[in-house]
């Protein structure tokens, strides 16, 4: 993320204590006043006593960093690293590039190394450059993470000041892929590169975090019906179970619930009529 130091800065008649930062190719100070000085605007750099003297075309600032730190910062300002040195790419590096459309960078990279794979990532690639111009493009980060070697580096290149993708989006995607952001480099005037690596505790064959998968209960999981009820559920059912009634009350209750027996219907006897007297024999 660059160098930083607590120090006192004198700017004309103003003096403030705060934080000085040397990031990319800019010298920044944050205190009661703020300075943001690009290297290409610095006309003179020197160490005077315990202070780093920085002069531009319109102002002069003294950073009281101490002699040793001041000399180191003066050297970094006057002799900034080249882009490939900052990106840690050497002539023998094996590099894969995905979705990076900077033609000048690609041309220089082809001249820098012969071990270049464009548009694809061989398994175990030591260095991967991945360009993401939108939030949706960050979805590829999980796949690229799976192709990295344990000690490899993935450079995520994003546009500066874009509404389609922010630094917060990038950092969240990096963490979600199980990576850590260790360094930021000014890739070009329009793009920034984040250095992403696998955490030390996840290297050496340790299990890597995977994205959550929402699914139904897998076949290996016991069914709900076969699970034994918990002690709390058993106690709750015991409380709600009705208590047995005394035997006398039980007989009375059964008698009251039993259906009444139907009385037998008596059959009426058929009456025979007496024959008239004249017809008797």
pLDDT digits (tens, 9 = 90+) for 202-237: 887 644 444 443 334 344 444 444 455 566 666 666
- Percent of the chain at pLDDT above 70? 71
Q: Judge whether 274 lies within some domain.
A: no
Contact yes or no for 147/121 (Cβ under 8 A): yes
Categorize the per-residue pLDDT at 255 as very low, low, confident or very high, splitting at 50, 70 and 90.
Answer: low
Overall average pLDDT of the 82-89 stretch:
87
CATH number at residue 163: 3.40.50.150
Number of separate domains in the chain: 2
| Residues 58 and 103 grouped into a single domain | no
Q: Which of 80, 100, 135 is the last residue of a domain?
A: 80
Overall average pLDDT of the 1-18 stretch:
89
What does the pLDDT read at residue 237? 65
Q: Judge whether 254 lies within some domain.
A: no
What pTM was estimated for this model as a whole?
0.50
What Cα–Cα distance (Å) separates residue 156 from each residue in 36, 98, 202, 221?
Answer: 25, 10, 20, 40
DSSP assigned state of 281: -
Across all residues in the chain, what is the average pLDDT?
80
What are the structure tokens assigned to 237, written together?
A: 């059912």
């Amino acid at each position: 993320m660059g160098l930083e130091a607590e120090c006192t800065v004198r700017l004309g008649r103003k003096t403030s204590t705060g934080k000085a930062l040397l990031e990319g190719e800019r010298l920044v100070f944050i205190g009661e006043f703020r300075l943001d000085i690009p290297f290409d605007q610095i006309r003179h750099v020197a160490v005077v006593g315990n202070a780093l003297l920085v002069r531009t075309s319109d102002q002069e600032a003294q950073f009281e960093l101490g002699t040793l730190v001041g000399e180191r910062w003066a050297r970094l300002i006057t002799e900034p690293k080249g882009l490939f040195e900052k990106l840690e790419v050497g002539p023998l590096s094996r590099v894969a590039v995905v979705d990076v459309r900077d033609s000048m960078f690609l041309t220089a990279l082809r001249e820098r190394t012969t071990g270049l794979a464009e548009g694809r990532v061989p398994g175990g690639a030591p260095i991967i450059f991945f360009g993401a111009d939108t939030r949706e493009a960050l979805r590829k980060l999980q796949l690229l993470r799976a192709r990295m070697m344990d000690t490899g580096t993935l450079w995520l290149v994003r546009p500066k000041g874009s509404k389609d993708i922010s630094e917060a989006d990038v950092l969240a995607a990096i963490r979600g892929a199980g990576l850590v952001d260790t360094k930021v480099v000014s890739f070009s005037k329009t793009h920034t590169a984040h250095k992403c690596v696998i955490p030390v505790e996840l290297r050496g064959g340790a299990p890597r975090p995977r994205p959550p998968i929402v699914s139904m209960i897998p076949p290996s999981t016991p069914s709900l019906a076969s699970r034994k009820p918990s002690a709390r559920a058993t106690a709750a059912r015991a409380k709600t179970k009705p208590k047995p009634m005394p035997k006398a009350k039980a007989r009375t209750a059964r008698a009251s619930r039993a259906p009444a027996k139907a009385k037998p219907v008596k059959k009426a006897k058929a009456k025979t009529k007496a024959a008239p007297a004249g017809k008797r024999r």
